[in-house]
């Protein structure tokens, strides 16, 4: 009995080491930041649009949509842009842009220069819609299902691998449902 007490430190340490090992070999994507809004309805918003008219959360209903927060001042957004173009033009996915804390003329120039993948682009000048989405920074991408619920959030640029391996299968599945 008394000897067991002396085993406690070892047992605690092995538990800790085992857990570290599990974390190490779990192979989870280090960039995954689970959103507090997963499987919850996307927040309501009603933003002026870059073209004309407005972009509101109502327009998300009924169709699977990808919402991308971007800004002209954000370097990773440039890196990500070709992927968004591919999504919209080749994969025929509905992509909506939200220009986060960006001057509309800068956003326009950005899209004119790199190509415009967005069906509509909302202007979130004060970043309030970003906060409603629980945004960490730009770029950030949300997948919204037909019922208007957030199904996935990607923090940072969408990479080709991420698109092929995770995003496209998810989008196809959502479209079929």
Partner 1 sequence: MFIELGHFALALALCLALVQSIVPLAGAARRLSGWMAVGRSAALGQFAMVALSFAALTHAYVTSDFSVSNVVENSHSAKPMLYKISGVWGNHEGSMLLWVLILSLCGASVAVFGSNLPRELRARVLAVQGMVASGFLLFILATSNPFTRVIPAPADGHGLNPVLQDPGLAFHPPFLYLGYVGSSVAFAFAVAALIEGRVDAAWARWVRPWALVSWCALTVGIALGSWWAYYTLGWGGWWFWDPVENASLLPWLSGTALIHSAIVVERRDTMKSWTILLALLTFGLALVGTFLVRSGVLSSVHAFAVDPARGVFILVLLIIAIGGSFTLYAWRAPAMQGGGLFAPISREGALVLNNLLLATATGTVLLGTLYPLFMDAFGLKISVGPPFYNRTFLPLMTPLLVAMAVGPLLAWKRGDLTAALQRLWMAFGFALLVVLVGLYLSGFHAVLAILGLGLSAWIAAGVLAEWGERIRLFRLPLHDSWRRAAGLPRAAYGMSLAHFGMAVLVAGVSASAFEQERIESLRPGDHIDIAGYTLTLREVRRVPGPNYVADEAVIEVKRGGAVIDEMHPQRRTFTVQRQTTALTAIRTGLSADLYLALGEGDAQAGWVVRAWHKPIVSWIWLGALVMALGGVVSLTDRRWRVGVAARKPAAPTSIQSAAAE
Partner 2 sequence: MRFLLALFLFAAPAWAVLPDERLADPALEARARALSKELRCVVCHNESIDDSNATLARDIRIVLRERLAAGDSDGQAKAYLVARYGDFVLLRPPVRADTYLLWFGPFALLALGGAVAFAAQRRRKPAAPAPLTPEEQARLAALLREEPK
- Residue 171 CB neighbour total at 10 angstroms: 22
Which residues inside 30-89 make contact with partner 1, applying CB under 8 A?
30-31, 33-34
Which residues inside 70-89 make contact with partner 2, applying CB under 8 A?
73-76
On the question of a cis peptide bond just before residue 63, with omega within 30 degrees of 0, the verdict is: no
Q: Does 27 bind partner 1 (CB under 8 A)?
A: yes
C-alpha radius of gyration, the chain, whole number: 21
CB 50 within 8 A of CB 70: no
Residue 73 binding partner per list partner 1, partner 2, none, with a CB distance cut-off of 5 to 8 Å that depends on partner kind: partner 2
Q: Does 161 bind partner 1 (CB under 8 A)?
A: no
**Rounded to the nearest 10 degrees, what angle do helices 104-114 and 75-89 cross at?**
60
d(C-alpha 55, C-alpha 49), whole Å: 6
Q: Does 31 bind partner 2 (CB under 8 A)?
A: yes
- On the CB side of 74, CA atoms within 13 Å amount to 21
Nearer to partner 1, 79 or 119 (CB): 79
Instruction: Give the binding site for partner 1 (CB under 8 A).
Output: 2-3, 6-7, 9-10, 13-14, 16-17, 19-24, 26-28, 30-31, 33-34
Instruction: Give the binding site for partner 2 (CB under 8 A).
Output: 5, 30-31, 34-37, 43, 73-76, 101, 126-128, 130-138, 155-156
């Amino acid at each position: 009995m008394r000897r067991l007490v002396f085993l406690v430190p070892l047992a605690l340490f092995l538990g800790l080491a085992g857990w570290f090992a599990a974390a190490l070999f779990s192979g989870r994507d280090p960039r995954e930041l689970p959103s507090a809004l997963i499987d919850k309805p996307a927040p309501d918003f009603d933003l002026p649009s870059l073209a004309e008219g407005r972009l509101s959360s109502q327009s998300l209903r009924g169709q699977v949509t990808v919402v991308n927060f971007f800004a002209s001042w954000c370097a990773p957004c440039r890196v990500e842009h070709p992927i968004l173009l591919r999504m919209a033009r080749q994969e025929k996915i509905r992509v909506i842009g939200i220009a986060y804390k960006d001057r509309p003329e800068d956003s326009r120039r950005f899209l004119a220069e790199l190509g415009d993948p967005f069906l509509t682009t909302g202007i979130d000048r004060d970043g309030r819609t970003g906060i409603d989405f629980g945004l960490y920074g730009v770029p950030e991408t949300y997948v919204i299902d037909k019922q208007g619920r957030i199904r996935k959030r990607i923090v940072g640029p969408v990479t080709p691998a991420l698109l092929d391996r995770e995003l496209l299968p998810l989008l196809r599945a959502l479209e079929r449902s």
